[in-house]
Amino acid sequence: MFLAVAGLLSTVLTVFGSASAGADTVGAGSYTTTAPGPLPSGCADLSTNPRHWVTADAPAGAVPTNDWWSSILWKRTNCAYGEPLFAQPLGFRAQSGGLGVSYSTKPTISGSGKGVGEYHFDYKEDFVVGVSGLAAPEVKVDDWSDWTVSPYLSDGAHTLRATIGSGLPFAYFRATGGAAQIKTAAGATVDVWSNSGSTIGYTVAGHDYVAFAPTGASWSVDGPTFTSSPTDKDYFAVAVLPTTPSTSSADRAALATEYAKYAYDHVTGTTVSYRYDEADSTVTTTYRYTTRAFEGSATGTVAALLPHQWRHLSQGSPLPQTYISSRGPLKVLTGITSFSTAMVFHGVLPEIPGVADSSGADATTLQNYLNAEKTDPTRQQSDDTYWTGKGLGRAARLAEIADQTGNTDVRDAALSAIRSKLTDWFTASPGKTGHLFYYDDKWGTLIGYPASYGSDQELNDHHFHYGYYIAAAATLARFDPTWADADHYGGMVDLLVRDADNYDRSDERFPYLRDFDIYAGHDWASGHGSFAAGNNQESSSEGMNFDNALIQWGTVTGNKAVRDAGIYMYTTQAAAIEDYWFDTHDEVYPGDFAHKEVGMVWSNGGAYSTWFSSAPEQIQGINLLPVTGGHLYLGDNPAYVKANYQEMLDQAGRTRPGIWPDIWYEYLALGDGDAALADFRADSSFTSEEGESKAHTFHWIRNLAALGTVDTGVTADSPLTAVFVKDGERTYVAANTTGAETTVHFSDGTTVPVPAGRTVTAGAHTWTGGGGPGGTDPDPSPTPTPTPTPTPPGDPGTSPTLYLSAGGTLTGAAGTADSVTVASADSVNHDGTPYKPQTFRATGLTMKYAGGATRFDLAVDAQENVGNGIQLQVSYDCTGSGTWDRVETYRYFATDPVPGWEHYTDKAGLLSATGTSCDLKDGTVQVRIWNALGHAPSTVATGALSTVQLP
């Protein structure tokens, strides 16, 4: 939650109609066009003219909000110029004389050690870029694209138009009425180290910059002011270099020369595109730049990639130098017009499957918990959009669990409550002023009333609030598909989707992906972003709740555009959360910031705090709720889960959480289900968090204790899937919320048939549960489903010789000979970086390190395909902690185009190795095999033909 202190498209469009004065219909639903409450407001009369701060040349359609640059379009504090804009690596601030520029490399940290509160890379102005004589009374916005904006300053006689963007080391300018001018900050240490022709290189406060005037111009230096000689050309650019005080003069000059190649090819726009590949569960995202060459023949630009981008980069070789930022090191690509990332989507579930014993005392306890909720499944705290959403989410969890366990009375009571509340909110009848949505065509937004936490006047948190509505609608749609179709209430659900994150660029009623920052990889909660630290977001997990809701809704209704938008945002945001909220790689937070998590991410930093509480349980816990089958990403790193849980206890000075214990026990279950279950049994008298219930908490913990932890090494060709592992045994989970039977294929060769409307598990646990579409009663005595390919015999626990198994395991006995297919490299060089790998694991290994190196002999075959290069990586987790202590990557093996097995062995040599060799004590070994080169798949033999010898 955020508390602000200071294709249905064609169908939906065809069913719009007029209901009554001031209301529009959408199928059986409706929204009002007469505001029932307060509207967005700011320094100008924004309620009637939100385009007050937009020029006549700006794009048509709804104005963007909730962005990194929103404060200059929607001014709430500094009515003329807005607040600082943090674009990474540069920061900017509009002012009368031009655009201020900051490259902040030294964070300000409040407190020290255990009690530290927050860190910020504050805006510290190095200089102002302007036009001689400019005295603009205000700044407006002349253009925007997916991650750039063009501020515009004018006093009538002079104009300055800039284009700035996330990840752009360059700022591009067009100027009229005077000479281009750079005024360095008062009192700053300035050193001009190069001034030749149209280019000047200078250092301000230890930061190296280069300014590029048009060819034929020159720069004059008058103390702290640099002025370009007049020409008939109005363009120029300034760039910050990725240097440090230790960078040599020669290296600095070389960087300046490299950047100069692209200084005149100005970025004029940016566009993202994404593709979800079901077969290999990969999300490919492409970031494209539109450029205009003002002079010269070079094309392309320079881009600084954030950690969540460069960790998953598909192609390109970044420079060795990096930028310092509040998001950690930024890696630099030069001469590009686009770059792409490839991320693995690990799947989501409607709910954790009920694999635990369905009889006995625990089963009775669960049913008692469920029955206690029958009379009031939503049990909401307040009547506004946020708390109504929380109540809907609560009821949806109860409906899913009751359905799994055959408690149709509670299931139907929960579904009835969801249906009643959603239908009420989706109906704007004459005279109604609450429990309805209002569409404002000036702001391009849908506001629910009663509003809360600034969702009306500041457009805060729409994704937080509406995610709960959409998720509950997805649960209801499983059992009542008629309610969810476009002729009934599906169109209203789609409007909520489009308001928070419009997935359709052609729909100008709402801005494209309003709340989702495409380049930053995550949402922003504040509509106006008017803070000295930029924009902010507190509950990353409620942002993920929205993304998961789109996946669930899109899947159950057959709308792949919505589903894939959800998968794109979910997968990208999970990677961003891993770095920016949790810093699991220990590369983002400053060294003196001691926490493992921040409660809030700001544009220029992070804070161990919330808007509503100083309790550690809530500072850290706000990024864990709501707990749903769409939040399994929180368990991708079980070791981090346990460490983060322990930090919360240390900060709170407790042995068990004193606030939100249910949320914390559910989170701990993702790292250690047995420990979480023991804690719950010892402490089950707590009051549930407002969106939780004892039934869901007990169901979640009890079943994760049986399933184990999330296994990210196996994917599937269906989005509603997950894999768990405990004691070396996998459980495969697949849900089918549609009306047709399907078969799910997992990447290790396991196949699982899934009947319509059911959730099925296979492997270590075999179970079937869930009612079909239309409310078919579930089978109270689930029957086993076909098991996956059996694991070959042979305990790997003490055997140094391991065999590849088609089941995705490493075993101590050869087993049955078989083979697996290794995906194509898609004509991209993946040398050293696993890409769509086949993964094999052995757990519970105990043996002494005898010295020497890993040995392997793999039988590989590319058939008649030319140019493939197969590659192997071996990782050692010495104690089974979830952290790799040593990772060895071997040079790839260039296969021949002749059918028949070839031998890829350790003689290829090490490409890289990190960590040290170790004794294995209940340890884990993982082997990943992929095509580093080529455009076609390869085959690797399993069984006796492919061995790995541990040292």
- Report the Cα 317 to chain-centroid distance in Å: 23
- Report the Cα 221 to chain-centroid distance in Å: 46
Residue 1's nearest CA partner among 647, 618, 660 is: 618
What is the distance between the alpha carbons of residues 174 and 565, in angstroms, rounded to a whole number? 36
As a residue count, the chain comes to 951
Residue 111's nearest CA partner among 593, 453, 703 is: 593
Instruction: List all residues 6 or more positions away from 206 whose beta carbon is below 8 Å from its beta carbon.
Output: 105, 189, 245
DSSP string, 418-479: HHHHHHHHT---TT--SSEEEEETTTTEEEEES--TTTTTS---HHHHHHHHHHHHHHHHHH
Q: Which one of the listed residues 122, 461, 579, 583 is annotated catalytic?
A: 461
Residue 751's nearest CA partner among 773, 772, 721, 706 is: 721
DSSP string, 595-614: -S--SEEETTEEES--SS--
- Judge whether 711 counts as a catalytic residue: no
Tokens of 13: 């469009």
Would you tell me the crossing angle of helices 462-479 and 490-501 to the nearest 10 degrees?
150
What is the distance between the alpha carbons of residues 556 and 550, in angstroms, rounded to a whole number? 10
Residue 909's SS3 state is coil
Residue 635's SS3 state is helix
CB-CB contact of 733 with 722 (8 Å): yes
CB-CB contact of 391 with 378 (8 Å): yes
CB-CB contact of 352 with 669 (8 Å): no
Tokens of 678: 């023991």
- Report the Cα 434 to chain-centroid distance in Å: 33
Residue 809's SS3 state is strand
Instruction: List all residues 6 or more positions away from 789 whose beta carbon is below 8 Å from its beta carbon.
Output: 748, 749, 750, 806, 807
- DSSP annotation of 800: S
Q: Which one of the listed residues 504, 542, 692, 861 is annotated catalytic?
A: 542
Tokens of 6: 């200071």
- Judge whether 538 counts as a catalytic residue: yes
What is the distance between the alpha carbons of residues 818 and 807, in angstroms, rounded to a whole number? 10
Instruction: List all residues 6 or more positions away from 63 whose beta carbon is below 8 Å from its beta carbon.
Output: 50, 51, 54, 73, 443, 444, 511
What is the distance between the alpha carbons of residues 397 and 377, in angstroms, rounded to a whole number? 9
The pairing of strands 207-212 and 199-204 is: antiparallel
CB-CB contact of 264 with 234 (8 Å): no
Burial class (CB in 10 A: 0-12, 13-18, 19+), 257: exposed
What is the distance between the alpha carbons of residues 599 and 614, in angstroms, rounded to a whole number? 10
Q: Which one of the listed residues 83, 143, 208, 538 is annotated catalytic?
A: 538
Tokens of 809: 């395991």
What is the distance between the alpha carbons of residues 171 and 259, in angstroms, rounded to a whole number? 12
- Judge whether 143 counts as a catalytic residue: no
Active site residues: 461, 538, 542
